[in-house]
Amino acid sequence: MRALVVDDEPLARERMRALLAEIGDVEVVGEAGNGRDALDAVARLAPDVLLLDIRMPVMDGIEAARHLGALEAPPALIFCTAYGDHALAAFDANAVDYLLKPVRADRLQAALAKARRWSGEEANRVEHALGADRTRTHLCARVRGSLVLVPVAEVAYLLAEDKYVVVHHARGEVLIEEPLKALEEEFEERFVRIHRNCLVARAKLTGLTRTPDGRLFANVEGVTASLEVSRRNLPALRKLIRTL
């Protein structure tokens, strides 16, 4: 079994390596110090299991797990944390495990046995159980079989097209398969709806422009595209602009 150890504390990673060496039959293929680096490592190393801390900088373990759920064959996840909070209940009904630090060798061995029985169907159940009510810091797209993460803070606007949403961000654009309505609810503090098919980043909204024919368009920092404002969304948008 190929394992990736993810923890922001080097000593914790070292101790986990030592425990895995004692158990045997596990090859540690890499380490990562936060969830974002863990996702990159998964793409490079294709581990079978992640030993994953929860509270980490840049991206925590819960969000990383949700992004991994977008993979066709996600690795098994074993959380190793000092905090027995909400995630514990989520894993009670699934085939992965949740270990409290300091991790005991016997508990780790039992968790690895569960990980060997992992399946994609079980991974999807855990991804759902992790709680869609947690606001993400990144949006996740699948590009040619790999995960591409876009920091939400870099997104200028979201545009619904057919069954996809186009994420327009500082470095280009990607497609995600998420409903625009769900994104609006999750990121209501960051985005405002200007049209039935478009959400704009509040922090990048600079004003409105009226054309000679009476149509209104949103002015968005760094965006040259024409983003029309619907009459239905205009009152709320004007109210927001007055606070800018």
Give the tens place of pLDDT for each residue, 100-111. 899 999 999 999
Task: Taking the CA atoms of 88, 150, 179 and 122 in sequence, report the sign of the dihedral they define.
Answer: negative
Phi-psi region for residue 193, left (φ > 0), alpha (ψ -120 to 50) or beta?
beta
Angle, CA 146 vertex, CA 96 and CA 14 arms, to 5° = 50
Summarised one tens digit per residue, pLDDT across range 111-159 is 998 888 764 444 444 444 444 445 788 998 877 767 788 999 999 999 9
**Residue 168: beta bridge partners?**
157, 173
Question: So what's the pLDDT on residue 24?
Answer: 83
Q: Residue 238: which region, alpha, beta or left (left: phi > 0; alpha: psi -120 to 50)?
A: alpha
Phi, then psi, of 237 in degrees rounded to 5: -70, -40
Stretch (H or E) spanning 87: helix 86-92
DSSP secondary structure letter of residue 171 = T
Top pLDDT among 243 and 64 is at 64
What share of the chain in percent tops pLDDT 70?
87
Q: Dihedrals φ, ψ of 243, to 5°?
A: -95, -5
- How crowded is residue 61: how many other Cβ atoms within 10 Å of its Cβ? 25
Average of per-residue pLDDT across 184-198? 95
pLDDT at 100: 87
**pLDDT above 90: percentage of residues in the chain:** 61
Domain ranges of the chain: 2-129, 150-241
The CATH H-level (homologous superfamily) assignment of domain 150-241 is: LytTr DNA-binding domain (2.40.50.1020)
Q: What pLDDT does residue 145 have?
A: 65
**Region 14-33: what's the mean pLDDT?**
94
Residue 116: partners with Cβ closer than 8 Å, 6 or more residues away? 1, 76
C-alpha–C-alpha distance, residues 203 and 148, integer Å:
23
| pLDDT above 90 (res 35) | yes
- pLDDT at site 85: 65
Q: Can you tell me the distance from the alpha carbon of 25 to that of 231, in angstroms, rounded to the nearest whole number?
A: 63
- Which of the pair, 178 or 158, is modelled with greater confidence? 158
Q: Tell me the one-letter amino acid at 198.
A: C
Dist. CA 244–CA 242, nearest whole Å: 6
If one compares 87 and 146, the residue with the highest pLDDT of the two is: 146
Averaged confidence pLDDT in the chain: 86
CATH number of 2-129: 3.40.50.2300
Tell me, what DSSP letter sits at residue 72?
Answer: S
Residue 12's alpha-carbon distances to 82, 144, 158, in angstroms, are 11, 34, 39
- The string of pLDDT tens digits covering residues 192-228 is 999 999 999 999 999 999 999 999 999 999 999 999 9
9: amino acid identity, one letter = E
Q: What is the pLDDT of residue 121?
A: 46
Statement: the pTM of the whole predicted model exceeds 0.85? no
